[in-house]
């Protein structure tokens, strides 16, 4: 360490290791190393943080995490600001003045340049009249794979997944998922080139299913504008599910989801602010529900409560479409007839769990989603209603199958599909562990063996989504993983074969024959794109898609459980 002529260390060297910590454990004086050991031990004891071997955390950093885990040889330099739930693997670096906040998971060997911001939350700005500072926050989380280089002054926004071995060039503003091996730059960031040449070059995995997935994703992005334009009704200034059909509310939302997934923007057919204004205007200020359009595209008032199936689904589709556009419902969603704790239990009891568990699950989905929007909008829910919902579900689940309602072992379709709907808006959306996950896997895999439902010429989007999601949500149980992966890969191959160039996916596979629901449309395209992500994630190749669902089929919880 340099010294002045008197032999004393120069003043600017006293923080040498805080700003350049990579050689701390080799070159720092023993007293400094002992100070670091004591600091880490106190953070472990007082806050429950976890540190691997030879980690370094500068005392000049701001460490405000609820939970923190650092792998071996990972360091945090001076001026860094950390908060939220943060996990870093081994050999990672957070350089000076970097901000890492929110629910974030980072792999091994990740280098993060100075003055970078990785922010896993966002402000709600849906109500023009209410200051955004009073509208609360949303959070989806950020995941960064192994061996990623993040340059200086990069911004990574909430909901992004960064694939392994990618590079985020200095100054990049990353607003959507980054594929494995991509080098991205600009604002918003786009792929500039690939670390290993063109996608697929000299990569063993790219000669198989992963390469087919990447090629599909490139084709879908190229054709996205055309398939959206195909369903645009210029006269009504609205989307239809398919050309020649009357516009409906869901079609507007599906178009927004497809554009976000494949293009990273709102549909270009109408300015985003006009789309926001229209969706918000359709909400009934008394009930918070959104009705359907008539045959001419005019909006009709919604039902009076969540028992109206169409309006109940719009709690999902319109709510998430607004969320993707950076907005939110203008009014809270009334929970009636489940607007008190006793009413929640009575309403759930009255749903047709034994005769039609899919419908029962769909109503439960709407209730849970309404509760989530009310929470995110700062309105809250009636006292005890959330506890009543989850308490009912935890005490009424069948521990032998992980399902709700009557179990018909000869035909599990409605039971499994009902599980998906019930859990998506409750345990999945609130970030809570599902009960009896291993039994759920057993039941779903038994259902998947039913060739009357899952032969290649029998597939439809609902049935495949409703097995892909539960297998994905229970994947951490590690139960029958090889079987789950094998099923996922088989289904991926079938789905890829069903894309119609320039028009997208039909709801049902075209191999089913001459049926109206095999025709490509917005609903089928939106659902199958999300299904592909779940299946690819189960197969370990989701990064090849370059997108991650953020709408109705968002895998990330919208509500973080209390700690």
Q: What is the distance of C-alpha 380 from the center of its chain? A: 23
CA 527 to chain centroid, in Å, comes to 14
Q: Which residues have CB under 8 Å from 384's CB, separation 6+?
A: 340, 341
Please list, in sequence order, all residues whose beta carbon lies within 8 angstroms of the beta carbon of residue 465, skipping any fewer than 6 positions away.
420, 527, 530, 531, 534, 553
Instruction: Give me the phi and psi of 198, to 5 degrees please.
Output: -65, 150
- For 480-524, the pLDDT digits (tens) are 998 999 999 999 999 999 999 999 999 999 999 989 999 999 999
Which helix (DSSP H) or strand (DSSP E) does residue 99 occupy?
Answer: strand 99-102
Please give the positions annotated as active site: 123
| Tally: H helices and E strands in the chain | 16, 22
- Are 270 and 252 contacting, i.e. CB atoms less than 8 angstroms apart? no
- The confidence score (pLDDT) of residue 202 equals 39
Q: Are strands 81-88 and 104-106 parallel, antiparallel or unpaired?
A: parallel
The whole-number pLDDT of residue 10 equals 61
pLDDT in tens, 169-224: 999 999 888 888 889 999 888 888 888 754 444 344 445 899 999 999 999 999 99
Residue 5 — pLDDT band, cuts 50, 70, 90?
low
Among residues 483, 367, 357, the alpha carbon closest in space to that of 413 is found at: 357
**Is the pTM here over 0.85, yes or no?**
no
Which ranges of 198-271 would DSSP assign to H, the alpha helix? 209-230, 249-263
431-455 per-position pLDDT tens digit = 999 999 999 999 999 999 999 999 9
pLDDT at 300: 84
User: Packing angle between helix 437-448 and helix 461-473, nearest 10 degrees?
Assistant: 150
| 102-133 tens-digit pLDDT | 999 999 999 999 999 999 988 877 666 777 77
The DSSP element (H or E) to which 76 belongs, if any, is strand 75-76
Checking if the pLDDT of 419 tops 50, the result is yes
User: Average of pLDDT values for 344-364?
Assistant: 96
What are the residues whose beta carbons fall under 8 Å from the beta carbon of 375, sequence distance 6 or more? Answer: 381, 559
Pair 538, 488: CB distance under 8 Å = yes
The mean pLDDT value of the chain amounts to 91
Distance, in Å, from the CA atom of 516 to the CA atom of 507, rounded to the nearest integer, reads: 9
The DSSP element (H or E) to which 142 belongs, if any, is strand 142-144
Distance of CA 194 to the CA centre of its chain: 25
23-52 tens-digit pLDDT: 898 888 999 999 999 999 999 999 999 999
Q: Which residues, 6 or more positions from 455, have their beta carbon under 8 angstroms from its beta carbon?
A: none
- Among 58-62, 292-296, 363-367, 520-524, the least confident range: 292-296
Looking at residue 208, its pLDDT comes to: 85
Joined tokens for residue 400: 């032998």
Q: Is 528 helix (H, G, I), strand (E, B) or coil?
A: helix
Query: Which candidate, 500, 487, 501, 483, places its Cα nearest to that of 531?
Result: 487
DSSP string, 484-527: HHHHHHHHHHHHHTTPBTTTB-BSB-GGG-S-GGGSB-HHHHHH
The DSSP bridge pattern shows strands 122-123 and 137-138 to be antiparallel
Q: d(Cα 200, Cα 187) in Å, to the nearest integer?
A: 26
Structural domains of the chain in order of their starting residue, each with its CATH number: 14-195 (2.160.10.10), 205-544 (1.50.10)
pLDDT at 492: 96
| Least confident residue range of 132-141, 155-164, 177-186, 465-474 | 132-141
Query: What proportion of the chain, given as a percentage, has pLDDT over 70?
Result: 94
120: three-class secondary structure by DSSP: strand
Whose tokens are 């808006």? That residue is: 425
């Amino acid at each position: 360490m340099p010294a002045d002529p008197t032999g004393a260390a120069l003043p600017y060297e006293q923080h040498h290791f805080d700003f350049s910590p990579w050689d701390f454990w080799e070159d720092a004086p023993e007293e400094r190393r002992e100070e670091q050991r004591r600091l880490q031990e106190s953070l472990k004891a007082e806050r429950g943080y976890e540190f691997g071997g030879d980690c370094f955390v500068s005392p000049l950093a701001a460490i405000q995490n609820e939970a923190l885990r650092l792998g071996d040889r990972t360091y945090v330099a001076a001026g860094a600001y950390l908060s939220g739930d943060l996990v870093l693997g081994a050999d990672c670096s957070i350089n000076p003045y970097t901000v890492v906040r929110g629910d974030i998971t980072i792999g091994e060997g990740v280098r993060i340049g100075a003055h970078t911001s990785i922010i896993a939350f966002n402000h709600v700005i849906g109500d023009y009249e209410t200051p955004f500072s009073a509208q609360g926050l949303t959070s989806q989380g950020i995941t960064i794979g192994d061996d990623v280089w993040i340059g200086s002054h990069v911004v990574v926004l909430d909901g992004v997944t960064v694939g392994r071995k990618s590079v985020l060039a200095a100054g990049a503003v990353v607003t959507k998922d980054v594929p494995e091996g991509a080098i991205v730059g600009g604002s918003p960031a786009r792929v500039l080139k690939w670390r290993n040449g063109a996608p697929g070059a000299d990569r063993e995995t790219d000669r198989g299913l992963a390469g087919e997935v990447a090629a599909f994703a490139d084709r879908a992005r190229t054709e996205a504008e055309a398939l959206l334009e195909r369903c645009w009704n210029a006269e009504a200034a609205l989307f239809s599910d398919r050309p020649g059909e009357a516009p409906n509310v869901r079609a507007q939302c599906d178009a927004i989801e497809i554009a976000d997934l494949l293009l990273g923007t709102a549909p270009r057919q109408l300015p985003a602010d006009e789309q926001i204004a229209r969706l918000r205007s359709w909400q009934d200020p008394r009930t918070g529900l959104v009705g359907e359009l008539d045959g001419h595209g005019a909006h009709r008032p919604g039902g009076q409560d969540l028992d109206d199936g169409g309006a109940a689904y719009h709690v999902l589709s319109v709510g998430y479409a607004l969320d993707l556009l950076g907005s939110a419902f203008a009014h809270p969603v009334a929970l009636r007839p489940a607007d008190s704790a006793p009413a929640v239990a009575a309403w759930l009891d009255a749903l047709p769990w034994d005769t039609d568990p899919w419908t029962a699950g769909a109503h439960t989905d709407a209730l849970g989603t309404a509760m989530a929007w009310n929470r995110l909008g700062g309105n809250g829910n009636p006292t005890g209603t959330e506890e009543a919902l989850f308490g009912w579900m935890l005490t009424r689940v069948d521990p032998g199958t992980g399902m709700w309602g009557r179990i018909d072992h000869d035909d599990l379709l409605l039971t499994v599909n009902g599980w998906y709907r019930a859990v998506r808006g409750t345990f999945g959306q609130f970030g809570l562990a599902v009960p009896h996950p291993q039994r759920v896997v057993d039941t779903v895999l038994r259902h998947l063996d039913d060739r009357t439902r899952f032969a290649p010429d029998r597939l439809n989007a609902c049935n495949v989504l409703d097995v892909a999601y539960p297998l994905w949500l229970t994947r951490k149980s590690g139960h029958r993983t090889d079987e789950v992966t094998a099923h996922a890969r088989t289904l991926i191959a079938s789905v890829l074969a069903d894309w119609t160039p320039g028009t997208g996916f039909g709801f049902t596979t075209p191999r089913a024959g001459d049926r109206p629901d095999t025709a490509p449309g917005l609903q089928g395209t939106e659902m199958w794109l999300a299904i592909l992500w779940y299946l690819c994630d189960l197969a370990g190749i989701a990064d090849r898609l370059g997108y991650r669902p953020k709408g109705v089929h968002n895998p990330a919880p919208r509500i973080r459980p209390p700690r």
